[in-house]
Amino acid sequence: MFGLGKNILVVDLDNEVLKICYLKLSVFGKKFISNLMAKEITNLPENEIIQIIKKFISQIKVKNAEVITLAPSHLSITKNIEVPSIKPDEIRDIINLQATRHSPYSKEEIIIDYLDIGRFKEKYTKILLVMTNRNIIRKQYSILNKVRFPIKKVVFKPEVIVSTLNKILNKKDEPTAILHIDKRTTDFTVTFKNKVIFTRNISLGYQNLSEGKESFCNKLQIEIEKSFESYQTETIEKLPNSLILIDSTENFYDIDEKLKVFNLPIKIYSYYKYFPISKDALKTIKENSQFSFFDVISTGFVVEKLSVDLVPQEIKDRIAFKERNKDIIQFGLSFISILILICGLLITKIYFRQSYLNQLNAYYQNLNKKTKLLEETFHKIKLCKTYLTKRGYCLNVLDEIYRLIPPDLYLTEIVFDQNGTFSVKGTTYSRNSLYAFANDMEKSEYFKEVKRGDIKEREEEGKIVVDFDITALLEEKQEK
């Protein structure tokens, strides 16, 4: 779980803007906003961006922090679609197969996830498909890895905004439109039943206020009307009954007089009033009035509730592999500790039995009885030794199989039975790897009578792969 015993560093990074929020845990375990930072990074080389982040982290002495980044809204694509399934696994499989139909980019150029909006016609699910630029996410990973703060999760900004406002305002089950204005862009989002059901990014921001508030509001009204038209075209839900504007500069106190969008009531919220915030962070907000810190601040407080995670699949697999390795090591250490404890108990038991035997020898002075007791004790020790010797045999067999597996071959099934029969099934990209694997098993001291079963070829992602199965008998372990 995020934030459990750790501070959180939230980073919003694209090609133009860098924003960072550092959330610390108080002595009572509550999060509060410790420091904020915002900077224009247009046309800056990567090494300069790294130095900016390092300097900020060094100044505020960030330690033991988990890093969350935001996928840029203006570089993401969303689409409301209906999927003919209500099972999460099936929905994800369908999305992975059909997502590129809803995007002008290839599957290799985007990262895909979705938000479940709700049931539709009993056997259908309404979802908001989320697709973001893979290169931007890779750039975030590259920069933060070099800063030695690896990313834990990549979140979707509109979901952050909706989750936070629903938590703060406790909105009822009525569609509500939200405007989040940042320096360069504005996010128009519609929420219903605490979920994002529509989002559109608008290429207007606080920097456009230099043209004049009247001109800015006119342009913003046109874009909001376009957003409502897009929302109506997708026939998601009824029109929102109110419009919320998230503002930190308090420059829009009279916006309800300048914006007339379908006569919707407009409510303005200065977001920083709803969060525990330090004086330094509040000063940063005041000094950087063209930036909105709402997204990076909110992320740290709602990250546990966010369902969209735009971490690239290859990185998820790498993290899962490391976690599995960690679990194996922990299991190994635990097993060794238990084994040492058992051995210690056995040694202690043997010691006391030996002492008892010595007392009997001194008491009885009878050679035959002493010999018999020694033989009985030896027999018990031998049984314990045999038990301990064979106990780890299955682990040794698995370790041997792991050692023999070639890099381009993976196993899907491993089966033992009580008769000493051992079988594996798997897939490989090369028959040579299969033959080498079978030959290595034949040479191993753990297997005998190794036989290859059915070998079938099939196509997977444009490549020919070979499915196989191998059976063998386990060599009887010799007691040493």
Ranges of residues in the chain with a pLDDT under 50 are 1, 3, 480
Phi, psi of 126 (to 5 degrees): -85, 130
Q: What is the pLDDT of residues 108-151, one digit of tens each?
A: 888 888 888 888 777 888 888 898 888 889 899 999 989 888 88
pTM over 0.75: no
Buried b (16+ CB within 10 A) or exposed e, 152-172: bbbbbbbbbbbbbbbeeeebe
Strands (E), 242-395: 243-247, 266-270
Q: What is the pLDDT of residues 68-79, one digit of tens each?
A: 999 988 888 888
Kindly report each contact of residues 181-186 with a partner whose C-beta sits within 8 Å and lies 24 or more positions away, as own/partner: 181/205, 181/206, 181/245, 181/246, 181/247, 181/292, 182/17, 182/206, 182/291, 182/292, 182/295, 183/17, 183/207, 183/290, 183/291, 183/292, 184/16, 184/17, 184/74, 185/73, 185/74, 186/220, 186/223
Q: Which residues contact 225 (CB under 8 A, 6 or more apart)?
A: 261
Average pLDDT, rounded, for the chain: 83
The pLDDT of residue 1 is 46
SS3 label, residue 21: strand
The pLDDT of residue 262 is 65
Instruction: Check: CB of residue 129 under 8 Å from CB of residue 81.
Output: yes
The pLDDT of residue 252 is 62
The pLDDT of residue 253 is 57
Shortest CA distance to 454 belongs to which of 433, 434, 436?
434
